[in-house]
Structure 1
Protein backbone atom coordinates (compact mmCIF):
# COMPACT_ATOMS: atom_id res chain seq x y z
CA UNK A 1 0.00 0.00 0.00
CA UNK A 2 2.85 2.37 0.83
CA UNK A 3 4.40 1.76 -2.60
CA UNK A 4 1.08 2.55 -4.33
CA UNK A 5 0.78 5.87 -2.52
CA UNK A 6 4.36 6.72 -3.43
CA UNK A 7 3.78 5.94 -7.12
CA UNK A 8 0.56 7.97 -7.11
CA UNK A 9 2.37 10.95 -5.58
CA UNK A 10 5.12 10.77 -8.18
CA UNK A 11 2.59 10.60 -11.01
CA UNK A 12 0.58 13.55 -9.66
CA UNK A 13 3.66 15.69 -9.12
CA UNK A 14 4.96 14.81 -12.58
CA UNK A 15 1.62 15.73 -14.20
CA UNK A 16 1.52 19.03 -12.30
CA UNK A 17 5.03 19.90 -13.47
CA UNK A 18 4.30 19.01 -17.10
CA UNK A 19 0.98 20.89 -17.28
CA UNK A 20 2.37 23.83 -15.30
CA UNK A 21 5.32 24.18 -17.65
CA UNK A 22 3.04 23.97 -20.69
CA UNK A 23 0.77 26.69 -19.23
CA UNK A 24 3.73 28.94 -18.41
CA UNK A 25 5.15 28.47 -21.91
CA UNK A 26 1.79 29.59 -23.34
CA UNK A 27 1.56 32.65 -21.11
CA UNK A 28 5.19 33.76 -21.45
CA UNK A 29 6.31 32.68 -24.92
CA UNK A 30 3.36 31.83 -27.23
CA UNK A 31 3.29 33.37 -30.70
CA UNK A 32 -0.48 33.84 -30.46
CA UNK A 33 -2.90 34.24 -27.54
CA UNK A 34 -5.33 31.90 -29.31
CA UNK A 35 -3.50 28.59 -28.74
CA UNK A 36 -6.26 26.09 -27.88
CA UNK A 37 -4.26 24.05 -25.39
CA UNK A 38 -2.96 27.17 -23.66
CA UNK A 39 -6.46 28.63 -23.39
CA UNK A 40 -7.76 25.38 -21.90
CA UNK A 41 -4.92 25.18 -19.38
CA UNK A 42 -5.33 28.85 -18.44
CA UNK A 43 -9.05 28.26 -17.87
CA UNK A 44 -8.27 25.43 -15.41
CA UNK A 45 -5.83 27.46 -13.32
CA UNK A 46 -6.86 28.89 -9.93
CA UNK A 47 -8.13 32.47 -10.03
CA UNK A 48 -4.89 34.19 -9.04
CA UNK A 49 -2.77 32.29 -11.58
CA UNK A 50 -5.36 32.75 -14.34
CA UNK A 51 -5.51 36.48 -13.63
CA UNK A 52 -1.71 36.74 -13.70
CA UNK A 53 -1.62 34.79 -16.96
CA UNK A 54 -4.24 37.02 -18.55
CA UNK A 55 -2.38 40.17 -17.51
CA UNK A 56 0.85 38.75 -18.91
CA UNK A 57 -0.89 37.90 -22.20
CA UNK A 58 -2.47 41.35 -22.32
CA UNK A 59 0.95 42.98 -21.92
CA UNK A 60 2.34 40.85 -24.77
CA UNK A 61 -0.64 41.13 -27.16
CA UNK A 62 -1.96 44.65 -26.58
CA UNK A 63 -3.77 45.22 -29.88
CA UNK A 64 -5.58 41.87 -30.08
CA UNK A 65 -8.85 40.59 -28.71
CA UNK A 66 -8.50 38.56 -25.51
CA UNK A 67 -8.70 34.77 -25.67
CA UNK A 68 -11.54 32.90 -24.02
CA UNK A 69 -11.16 33.11 -20.25
CA UNK A 70 -9.39 36.47 -20.31
CA UNK A 71 -12.24 38.54 -21.72
CA UNK A 72 -14.43 40.89 -19.70
CA UNK A 73 -18.22 40.61 -19.85
CA UNK A 74 -18.39 42.41 -23.20
CA UNK A 75 -16.07 39.82 -24.78
CA UNK A 76 -13.92 42.47 -26.45
CA UNK A 77 -11.87 43.91 -23.61
CA UNK A 78 -9.37 42.23 -21.31
CA UNK A 79 -10.38 41.48 -17.73
Structure 2
Protein backbone atom coordinates (compact mmCIF):
# COMPACT_ATOMS: atom_id res chain seq x y z
CA UNK A 1 0.00 0.00 0.00
CA UNK A 2 2.85 2.41 0.83
CA UNK A 3 4.53 1.72 -2.50
CA UNK A 4 1.32 2.57 -4.37
CA UNK A 5 1.02 5.80 -2.39
CA UNK A 6 4.64 6.73 -3.21
CA UNK A 7 4.09 6.07 -6.91
CA UNK A 8 0.92 8.15 -6.88
CA UNK A 9 2.70 11.03 -5.14
CA UNK A 10 5.54 10.89 -7.68
CA UNK A 11 3.04 11.08 -10.56
CA UNK A 12 1.19 14.01 -8.98
CA UNK A 13 4.40 15.93 -8.31
CA UNK A 14 5.78 15.19 -11.78
CA UNK A 15 2.52 16.29 -13.41
CA UNK A 16 2.42 19.46 -11.37
CA UNK A 17 6.01 20.31 -12.29
CA UNK A 18 5.46 19.51 -15.96
CA UNK A 19 2.22 21.45 -16.39
CA UNK A 20 3.33 24.24 -14.04
CA UNK A 21 6.50 24.78 -16.02
CA UNK A 22 4.57 24.86 -19.30
CA UNK A 23 2.10 27.38 -17.84
CA UNK A 24 4.90 29.59 -16.52
CA UNK A 25 6.71 29.53 -19.87
CA UNK A 26 3.48 30.64 -21.57
CA UNK A 27 2.90 33.47 -19.11
CA UNK A 28 6.46 34.74 -18.70
CA UNK A 29 8.15 33.98 -22.01
CA UNK A 30 5.55 33.05 -24.62
CA UNK A 31 5.73 34.71 -28.02
CA UNK A 32 1.98 35.19 -28.20
CA UNK A 33 -0.83 35.42 -25.64
CA UNK A 34 -3.00 33.27 -27.94
CA UNK A 35 -1.23 29.91 -27.49
CA UNK A 36 -4.03 27.33 -27.16
CA UNK A 37 -2.23 25.10 -24.66
CA UNK A 38 -1.22 28.07 -22.53
CA UNK A 39 -4.76 29.44 -22.52
CA UNK A 40 -6.10 26.06 -21.41
CA UNK A 41 -3.51 25.71 -18.64
CA UNK A 42 -4.19 29.26 -17.48
CA UNK A 43 -7.89 28.42 -17.32
CA UNK A 44 -7.19 25.51 -14.97
CA UNK A 45 -4.86 27.51 -12.73
CA UNK A 46 -6.15 28.58 -9.31
CA UNK A 47 -7.58 32.11 -9.16
CA UNK A 48 -4.55 33.93 -7.72
CA UNK A 49 -2.15 32.28 -10.19
CA UNK A 50 -4.49 32.99 -13.10
CA UNK A 51 -4.79 36.62 -12.03
CA UNK A 52 -1.01 36.97 -11.73
CA UNK A 53 -0.56 35.35 -15.14
CA UNK A 54 -3.09 37.64 -16.78
CA UNK A 55 -1.45 40.74 -15.30
CA UNK A 56 1.99 39.51 -16.37
CA UNK A 57 0.78 38.95 -19.94
CA UNK A 58 -0.99 42.30 -19.99
CA UNK A 59 2.30 44.03 -19.19
CA UNK A 60 4.11 41.94 -21.82
CA UNK A 61 1.54 42.44 -24.59
CA UNK A 62 0.18 45.99 -24.21
CA UNK A 63 -2.40 47.03 -26.76
CA UNK A 64 -3.41 43.48 -27.71
CA UNK A 65 -6.74 41.88 -27.02
CA UNK A 66 -6.60 39.54 -24.03
CA UNK A 67 -6.79 35.77 -24.48
CA UNK A 68 -9.75 33.78 -23.27
CA UNK A 69 -9.73 33.61 -19.48
CA UNK A 70 -8.04 37.00 -19.07
CA UNK A 71 -10.77 39.09 -20.66
CA UNK A 72 -13.76 40.93 -19.24
CA UNK A 73 -17.15 39.62 -20.39
CA UNK A 74 -17.11 41.84 -23.48
CA UNK A 75 -13.77 40.27 -24.50
CA UNK A 76 -12.03 43.58 -25.18
CA UNK A 77 -10.43 44.52 -21.86
CA UNK A 78 -8.00 42.70 -19.56
CA UNK A 79 -9.22 41.60 -16.15
TM-score range, shorter chain: over 0.9
| CA RMSD across the alignment | 0.4
Unaligned runs of 5+ in 2: none
Displacement over 3 Å in runs of 4+: none
Q: Does 1:6 align with 2:6?
A: yes
Unaligned runs of 5+ in 1: none
> C-alpha deviations, 1:4-41, integer Å up to 9, x for none?
00000001000000000000000000000000000000
- Partner of 1:46 in structure 2? 46
> C-alpha deviations, 1:29-64, integer Å up to 9, x for none?
000000000000000000000000000000000110
Report the TM-score when normalising by structure 2: 0.98
Q: How many Å separate the matches in 2 of 1:40 and 1:74? A: 19
1:21-32 → structure 2 map (5 Å cutoff) = 21-32=21-32
Report the TM-score when normalising by structure 1: 0.98
Q: How many Å separate the matches in 1 of 2:73 and 2:4? A: 45
